[in-house]
Amino acid sequence: MIIDQIVSRASVIPVLVIDEVADAVPLGRALVAGGLSVLEITLRTPVALECVQRMAGEIEGAVVGAGTVLTPAMRQAVADVGGQFCVSPGLIEGETCEGAIPLMPGIATATELMAGLAAGFTHFKLFPANVVGGVDALKAFASPFQQAKFCPTGGINAENAANYLALPNVVCVGGSWVAPQAAVRAGDWSHITQLARKAAALGRL
Ligand code: 3PG
């Protein structure tokens, strides 16, 4: 699957930090049940790669990838366990749009965006979106960089997501708000499904 097929499947990509492997599949199923089928597991916990593997293998209808991918080796490791895409907070030196699985690099400035375009990327995470100009930055990037599409992430929530999704150069947004740590720890999957359902509806406004 190429990156535009992946991002076109969901207007909101949940950004997940999972501490316990046992939570991975129920969490993913709760999100898919609410209508969010593209799942980003951040490589920030020791069990993250195992979670990618379990979720990719066991959750029907999900497209499972990894976030916080910082090196070429991490991109390869995600591919090796069956992950379908990677997201990075920045540009990874030497990485291009070619690779085992699609990568969506993060950018915060015009210069970084130009470097990413030169490496063949078309889809970028604007990160941290709320700090580096948010909606106004994306509007400003639209004219000089007409070929670039964005998934703003960082500070996006149920209140401001629709403002981003209304922009023509935004294909989806990412955020952790749909899977609060407290709800994951409590195993409150029905609450997470409710949050996912509301988030999924934002893309249809
Ligand atoms: C991240 O990589 O942590 C994402 O940008 C999530 O940001 P958020 O927690 O502000 O949604």
* CATH value at residue 59: 3.20.20.70
Domain membership of residue 117 (yes or no) is yes
Q: β-pairing, 106-107 with 103-104?
A: unpaired
For the Cβ of 84 lying below 6 angstroms from any atom of ligand 1, the answer is: no
What are the φ and ψ backbone dihedral angles of 25, each rounded to 5 degrees?
Answer: -70, -45
Pocket perturbation via mutation, ligand 1, pick of 132, 176, 184 by most ligand atoms within 8 A of CB = 176
Q: Which two tokens stand for residue 123?
A: 């889809």
At residue 51, the 3 state secondary structure works out as: helix
Domain membership of residue 32 (yes or no) is yes
Residue in 21, 66, 18, 80 with CA at minimum distance from that of residue 45:
18
Domain membership of residue 205 (yes or no) is no
Quick one: pLDDT band at residue 149, thresholds 50, 70, 90? very high
Number of domains the chain is built from: 1
Per-residue pLDDT of 51-70, as tens digits, reads 999 999 999 999 999 999 99
pLDDT of 203 reads 77
Interior angle at CA 13, CA 11 and CA 195, nearest 5: 85
Domain residue limits at 102: 3-200
CA distances from 57 to 25, 49, 205 (A): 9, 12, 32
Closest C-alpha to ligand 1, atom 11:
175
What DSSP line would sit under 15-33, residue for residue?
EE--S-HHHHHHHHHHHHH
Q: Looking only at Cα atoms, what is the longest distance across the chain?
A: 46
Domain membership of residue 86 (yes or no) is yes
Domain membership of residue 33 (yes or no) is yes
Q: How far apart are CA 36 and CA 193, in angstroms?
A: 9
Atom of ligand 1 nearest to the CA of 156: 11
pLDDT of 1 reads 81
pLDDT of 204 reads 60
Residue 86 has pLDDT above 80, yes or no: yes
- Mean of the pLDDT values across residues 107-111? 98
Q: How many residues in the chain? A: 205
